[in-house]
Amino acid sequence: MGGTAQGTAIGLAVDLSSGLIDRFRSLPMSRAAVLAGRTLADLAMTLVAAAVTAASGLLVGWRIHRGPADVLLALGLALLFAYAAAWAGACVGMLARGAESAQAVGLTVIVPLSLTSNAFISTAHLTPWLRDIANWNPVSVLAAACRQLLGNPDPAAAISSWPMQHPELASALWSAALIAVLAPLAVWLYVRRARH
């Protein structure tokens, strides 16, 4: 879901360099509409990718052990995080000089967030300062929430930090906070870039 940021960043950088954004700027429409359209389109692509990933997982033996309400909540939290990531990508895309720099910046954010999360390893045996970062990491929180909601083993449930004890709420709060900060920032960057 965090990969949505890189796709949005690269897409916006390409749109900016190709002149497409200049055409949109000449139309009588909200400045936020261009970015909202881009982030929603990337969210739709992420939904398709999530469906393919889930289907592939089911084919190789992964199973969901909870009811439809929990599955829908897990999907909703994952998509909300992907939407927040898309707005982060929109900010990067507005600042990048081209698609290559957008890709590089995207990787410098996505890779550390993923590698300092509990998505791949348990955080229980990390050094204390890194464990604290990992337990509050939005990727860790989303992974813990999805594991709990889908009824899969969740080693993070034994960790006493607040986000690991309340991963659904923590994930929703992280995503909402990121959107509340990044969406207005991306629109401001868009308007600022239009003036130059």
Q: What is the 3-state secondary structure (H, E, C) of 133-162?
A: HHHHCHHHHHHHHHHHHHCCCCHHHHCCCH
Looking at per-residue confidence, does 25 or 190 come out higher? Answer: 190
Inter-residue contact 27 to 110 (CB < 8 Å): no
Tens-place pLDDT, residues 93-113: 888 888 888 888 777 777 888
Q: What percent of the chain has pLDDT over 90?
A: 51
What is the pLDDT, as a whole number, of residue 182?
96
Burial of 101 (0-12, 13-18, 19+ CB in 10 A): middle
CA distance 4 to 14: 15
3-state helix, strand, coil in the chain (%, to 5): 80, 0, 20
Inter-residue contact 12 to 38 (CB < 8 Å): yes
Mean pLDDT, to the nearest integer, of 14-39? 83
Hey, what amino acid is at 90?
Answer: A
Comparing CA positions, the residue from 74, 72, 80, 54 lying closest to residue 146 is: 74
Tens-place pLDDT, residues 102-151: 888 777 777 888 888 888 888 888 899 999 999 999 999 999 999 999 99
CA distance 121 to 152: 15
Single pTM value for the model: 0.89
What is the pLDDT, as a whole number, of residue 147?
93
What is the pLDDT, as a whole number, of residue 111?
80
As a whole number of Å, the CA-based R_g of the chain is 18
Enter the DSSP assignment of 117. Answer: S
Domain count along the chain: 1
Domain residue limits at 33: 4-195
* Total length of the chain: 196
Q: Tokens standing for 35? A: 């970015």
